[in-house]
Structure 1
Amino acid sequence: MFSFTFPATIRYRRYCVLTSLCLLVSMPTTAQSLITLNANGHSAAAVSLQYAEPVRLAHVISDSLKQRTMTETPYWLGSSLSTTTEPQTKSVLIKQLTQLSQQHRDDASASESFANTAQWLQQHIKTQRLPVTIDIDKARLNKKDNPLLSGNYQLLLANRPTSVTIIGAIEKPLSIKWQPRIAAKDYLDHVMPIDIAANSTVTVIQPDGVMQQHPIAYWNNNHNDIAPGAIIYLGYQSLFHDYSDLNHAISSMLINRTL
């Protein structure tokens, strides 16, 4: 994780919160920071937080909690701060997966896997997630977790999910009920890998965007916890094609998924 700061260039010390109730506070016409907020998870309508000057993340989270109507504490591990635009490499990756689907028309399972992975990424990756921890206590206590924000962002206060997602070298992405103390290998027992699926490790993207390698073979089996809302990416592997760059591109793109 890294923190980032922007120089304060506006003298105003006031901020404004705009909600569906149109609560207005006097402020300059142009906001220095605009946060599109999902305080109750993606299921609820977004509101806008506008600030007349660069603002610390802890301040934004505090304001966001006031907009949250859910009784449960936010699922901090899955809460996220993102840009308002898609990752620049998304379209290139979608095109590559589409081409691979067409090239593997003689292998229906591989062709469908590439096409379905492309479709899932197209539907679920909408913004670029920033490597910032979203946790009110950490933001208040640690400077590196309390960056100065200036510009447009999206903030999600997530609700605790009940499933994990498996994607990659299977016929199509699948959501499976999360269970405590269940490893990646156990989740994979519920899916049918295609012939060109990796068989020794999978990439797990935890809900906070942290990427991990989890063993799944009998000879390297070692338990690693998987949190609710994680993604298990089963990579593509073949004797005739080098999919290492593709696997890296897909797993790196999956970091941008928000709950």
Structure 2
Amino acid sequence: MRMLPFSAFMLSLLSQSLYAAGTVTVHRTDSGETLKIQNAQRLSDVVSQPALAHSWWPGAVIGVTGKTRDQQARHQQLLARLASLAAQESGDDAAAIRQLQQQMAALKVTDRQFVDLDPDVLRVRTATNKPLAGDYTLWTGKMPGYITLYGLVSGAGNRPFTPGKSVAEYLDETALLSGAERSYAWVIYPDGRVQKAPVAYWNKRHVEPMPGSAILVGFSQRLFSSAYDDLNAQLVDSLTHRIPQ
């Protein structure tokens, strides 16, 4: 077998390494600045960039650029389903669904990768330091000072974050709309974790959202037909893939 010259061998290894590396487009949500990181071999090569030193990593979102259309298509299916259901209902039920559809239409989603981006975690737990290959988009910024209410609630939107305040206490400050689930709410944490929080008088637990969390009041399964059985799951899916504000 003919042996490659050493220089050709090294060039071959280098080209393979470059091919396997990732290119990450970074959007700073706090400043509006955009920057590009080339030839990132692993997640640690991204989060260790000096320009990102003051990022709040629990709320950062990284997605595969080429797969974002798939998640956007699923989100559009959710919007179409909400519009169709609103057309089938009437009165307060229809108005509540239309309001929810408007909330979801304002969301931008991406093909979020559920990976740990904390530099300390990546350094200590090497298995979390995933290799990169291809094009990615990263959104990062400072820790927000609010949580956001979504779903069948009056006056959905941002609320000031208060340390120690529970999900139930945030919901006590707003009215629930027709068809709303009154026993549970979903908490979507900034890192993508989801928790179902009991909020009724008979099952209430003290669940505290962290800054940047979304609180979703979904549809009550008791008031609607089986057509709504998996609608809450679709809502949660879009919220876990949302692009940070």
Q: Which has the larger radius of gyration?
A: 2
Q: Which residue of 1 aligns with 2:223?
A: 239
Q: Which residue of 2 aligns with 1:60?
A: 46
Q: CA deviation at 1:47?
A: 1.4
Q: Which residue of 1 aligns with 2:13?
A: 11
Q: Which residue of 2 aligns with 1:24?
A: none
Q: CA deviation at 1:132?
A: 0.5
Rate the CA distance shift 1:93–1:172 in 2: closer, same or farther, 3 A.
Answer: farther
Match of 1:252 among 213, 219, 237: 237
Cα pair 1:203 1:214 within 8 Å, conserved: yes
Letter in structure 2 aligned against 1:37: V
When you count helix as a share of all residues, which structure comes out higher?
Answer: 2
Q: CA deviation at 1:50?
A: 1.8
Q: Which residue of 2 aligns with 1:116?
A: 99
List runs of 5+ in structure 1 lacking aligned partners: 1-9, 16-27
Q: Quick one: distance in 2 between partners of 1:147 and 1:189?
A: 41
Q: Quick one: distance in 2 between partners of 1:251 and 1:173?
A: 16
3-state SS of 2:48 partner: helix
Q: Quick one: distance in 1 between partners of 2:94 and 2:13?
A: 57
Q: CA deviation at 1:140?
A: 1.3
Rate the CA distance shift 1:112–1:171 in 2: closer, same or farther, 3 A.
Answer: farther
List runs of 5+ in structure 2 lacking aligned partners: 1-11
Q: Which residue of 1 aligns with 2:57?
A: 76
Cα pair 2:155 2:174 within 8 Å, conserved: no
Q: CA deviation at 1:136?
A: 0.7
Q: Structure 1 residue runs of 4+, over 6 Å off? A: none
3-state SS of 1:124 partner: coil
- TM-score scaled to structure 2, two decimals? 0.84
Rate the CA distance shift 1:114–1:42 in 2: closer, same or farther, 3 A.
Answer: farther
Per-residue CA shift, 1:140-189, capped at 9, x if unaligned?
Answer: 11123210010111112231101111111124532111101111111112
Is 1:35 the counterpart of 2:28? The answer is no
Per-residue CA shift, 1:187-230, capped at 9, x if unaligned?
Answer: 11222211201111111001111000111011111101210010
Rate the CA distance shift 1:236–1:31 in 2: closer, same or farther, 3 A.
Answer: same
Cα pair 2:187 2:194 within 8 Å, conserved: yes
Cα pair 2:20 2:133 within 8 Å, conserved: no
Per-residue CA shift, 1:14-48, capped at 9, x if unaligned?
Answer: 99xxxxxxxxxxxx8x895221112x325412111
Counting aligned pairs with the same residue, the percent is 27
3-state SS of 1:93 partner: helix
3-state SS of 1:138 partner: helix
How many residues get paired?
227
Match of 1:97 among 75, 82, 107: 82
Letter in structure 1 aligned against 2:76: S
Q: Quick one: distance in 1 between partners of 2:101 and 2:14?
A: 45
Per-residue CA shift, 1:37-84, capped at 9, x if unaligned?
Answer: 12x325412111121xx6110011112xx2248xxx322211121122
Q: Quick one: distance in 1 between partners of 2:161 and 2:126?
A: 33
Rate the CA distance shift 1:241–1:229 in 2: closer, same or farther, 3 A.
Answer: same
Q: CA deviation at 1:13?
A: 7.6
3-state SS of 1:147 partner: coil
Is 1:127 the counterpart of 2:99? The answer is no
Match of 1:181 among 149, 158, 164: 164
Q: Which residue of 1 aligns with 2:33?
A: 45
Rate the CA distance shift 1:13–1:62 in 2: closer, same or farther, 3 A.
Answer: farther
